């Protein structure tokens, strides 16, 4: 008996693409064997908020860079809690490119990321905390300096504090002076912290 190929095993034609633009059909196409079909599906799912969880799950499995980029774009456009959760999960990936792409996507979602920022900055994993500071680098949100000050006042990890101070040297105001001085005293034997805090203190701007 001959095997019958499923609909998702063949590349999608233009006509098939138009016929399967309903959300259910697009979600099925997201697991197609053909990357072009998956890319079309990921793009068109931008109009299907219920697809966020599936897109996030697919992102962790996708090995085609162009499809991954479209999934990230769609998740950013949807921007709901499930989309953000999927991006957060990428911060724990062993793949640098995926982590960096997730950071860039989250930077474009300041209002959605803000409620979880403190949780990310106090995550048990110091690498995740460092990535969270990286998100703040281009996150247009009025609480960025406040979050950075909480990091240098509370975090005990040298590298986490170091990246936070580096960013404060760019965005810090006079409100950061006391916290920077406390950090300098706390890590008095660490040359890099001394250098970074001196630089940040010298660059403080008036609010």
pLDDT in tens, 17-62: 555 568 999 999 999 999 999 999 999 999 999 999 999 999 988 9
Same domain, 69 and 159: no
Q: Is residue 3 part of a domain?
A: no
| Residue that terminates a domain, selected from 79, 108, 137 | 108
Same domain, 164 and 90: no
The residue length of the chain stands at 207
How many folded domains does the chain comprise?
Answer: 2
Residue pLDDT, tens place only, 82-132:
999 999 999 999 999 999 999 999 999 999 999 999 999 999 999 999 999
Query: Average of pLDDT values for 191-202?
Result: 96
Give CB contacts under 8 A, 24+ apart, made by 100-108.
101/68, 101/69, 101/72, 102/72, 103/131, 103/134, 103/135, 104/138, 105/72, 105/75, 105/76, 106/135, 106/139, 107/135, 107/137, 107/138, 107/139, 108/76
Q: Is residue 185 part of a domain?
A: yes
CA distance 205 to 180: 14
Same domain, 81 and 114: no
Q: Quick one: pLDDT band at residue 14, thresholds 50, 70, 90?
A: low
Same domain, 46 and 139: no
Q: Quick one: pLDDT band at residue 7, thresholds 50, 70, 90?
A: very low
Q: Is residue 122 part of a domain?
A: yes
CA distance 110 to 30: 28
Residue 177, domain CATH: 1.25.40
- Nearest CA to 117 out of 89, 162, 86, 148 is that of 148
Q: What is the pTM of this model?
A: 0.85
- Nearest CA to 158 out of 197, 129, 187, 189 is that of 187
Burial of 96 (0-12, 13-18, 19+ CB in 10 A): exposed
Percent of the chain with pLDDT over 90: 86
Same domain, 91 and 69: yes
Residue 104, domain CATH: 1.25.10.10
Residue 77 has pLDDT above 50, yes or no: yes
Q: Is residue 99 part of a domain?
A: yes
pLDDT number for residue 5: 37
Q: Is residue 124 part of a domain?
A: yes
pLDDT number for residue 2: 39
The token duo for 90 is 């990428």
Same domain, 116 and 164: yes
Q: Quick one: pLDDT band at residue 1, thresholds 50, 70, 90?
A: very low
Same domain, 129 and 102: no
Same domain, 196 and 159: yes
- Which structural domain, as residue segments, surrounds residue 42? 13-108
| Average pLDDT of the residues of the chain | 90
Same domain, 61 and 123: no
Same domain, 121 and 161: yes
Residue 8 has pLDDT above 70, yes or no: no
Query: Average of pLDDT values for 171-188?
Result: 96
Q: Is residue 148 part of a domain?
A: yes
Residue 91, C-beta contacts closer than 8 angstroms, at least 6 positions apart? 99, 102, 103, 120, 128, 131, 132
């Amino acid at each position: 008996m001959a095997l019958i190929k499923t609909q998702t095993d063949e590349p999608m034609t233009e006509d098939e693409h138009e016929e399967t633009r309903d959300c259910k059909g697009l979600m099925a196409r997201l697991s197609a064997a053909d990357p072009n079909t998956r890319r079309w599906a990921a793009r068109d799912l931008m109009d299907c908020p219920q697809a966020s969880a599936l897109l996030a799950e697919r992102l962790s499995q996708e090995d085609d860079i162009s499809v991954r980029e479209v999934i990230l774009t769609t998740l950013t456009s949807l921007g709901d809690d499930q989309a953000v959760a999927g991006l957060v999960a990428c911060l724990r990936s062993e793949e640098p490119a995926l982590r960096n792409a997730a950071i860039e996507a989250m930077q474009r979602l300041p209002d959605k990321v803000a409620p979880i920022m403190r949780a990310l900055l106090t995550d048990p994993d110091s690498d995740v905390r460092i990535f969270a500071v990286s998100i703040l680098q281009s996150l247009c949100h009025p609480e960025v300096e406040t979050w950075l000050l909480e990091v240098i006042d509370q975090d005990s990890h040298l590298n986490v504090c170091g990246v936070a101070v580096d960013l404060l040297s760019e965005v810090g105001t006079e409100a950061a002076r006391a916290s920077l001085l406390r950090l300098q005293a706390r890590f008095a034997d660490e040359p890099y912290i001394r250098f970074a805090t001196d630089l940040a203190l010298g660059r403080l701007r008036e609010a």
